[in-house]
Each structure stands twice: as C-alpha cells, then as structure tokens.
C-alpha cells in the first residue's frame, strides 16, 4: 500500500493513461464527398507520454515512469522499515519485561 500525495488515500496502484494524438482537416470534395487531409501534430502511441494518476482522487501524479514507480515503491519500503522497527521494539520490550521480573 502507498499513500497518494494529493488526497492521502491508501493506494496499491496508479491509473495509467496514454493518449495518441492525431489532427487534420475534413475537406469537402467537388463531388460532395468528404475526405480527411493534411494530418499534422500526430503523436503515435509510442511517442505519447504516460500519465499516472491516483485511482482515488483521479489527480495526475506524474508523467515520469520512474517517478511513478517510486511513488508506489518508496512508501512500501518505508512501511516495511517501520514494521521491522516496531517488531524490534516489541521484542526489546518483551525482553526488558522478562529481565525486570
């Protein structure tokens, strides 16, 4: 589980979007038919940036693949460290109680 930096909700995944983009003009031919012409500003699926957003608040968190990974990973590592420290403290407390008796 990770925490969304925007809404602080617990999230275990990120939404991923990628929009290919295509523009052109729709032209009317002399015979009355229409035709799309002059494609420009075309961004293919490969070129389009990935957009990662929170599944809870839908806010965009990053467009960077590595940063998206870190958002998910870092918090997990932090939680693991905290969990380990808590276990260690519990053990130490148990040991201290035994010693005090």
Element housing 42 (H / E): strand 34-43
**What size, in residues, is the chain?**
101
- The alpha carbon of residue 52 and the mean position of all alpha carbons in its chain are separated, in whole angstroms, by 4
**Residues paired with residue 36 on neighbouring β-strands, in sequence order:** 26
Largest alpha-carbon pair distance within the chain?
A: 100
In this chain, which stretch among 7-15, 20-28, 41-49, 74-82 interacts with Zn ion, using CB under 5 A? 7-15
68 scored as a contact of Zn ion (CB under 5 A): no
Element housing 93 (H / E): helix 65-100
Which of 3, 51, 56, 62 touches Zn ion (CB under 5 A)?
A: 56
Taking the complex as a whole, the smallest distance from the CB of residue 48 to Zn ion amounts, in Å, to 23
In this chain, which stretch among 1-9, 32-40, 44-52, 72-80 interacts with Zn ion, using CB under 5 A? 1-9
Residues that bind Zn ion (CB under 5 A): 4, 6-7, 54, 56-57
């Amino acid at each position: 589980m990770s925490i969304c930096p925007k809404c602080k909700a617990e999230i275990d995944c990120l939404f991923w979007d990628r929009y290919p983009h295509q523009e052109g003009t729709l032209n009317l031919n002399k015979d009355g038919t229409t035709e799309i012409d002059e494609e420009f500003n075309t961004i293919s699926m490969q070129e389009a940036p990935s957009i990662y957003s929170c599944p809870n608040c839908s806010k965009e968190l990053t467009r960077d693949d590595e940063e998206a990974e870190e958002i998910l990973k870092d918090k997990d590592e932090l939680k693991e460290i905290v969990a380990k420290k808590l276990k260690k403290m519990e053990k130490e407390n148990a040991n201290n109680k035994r010693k005090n008796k």
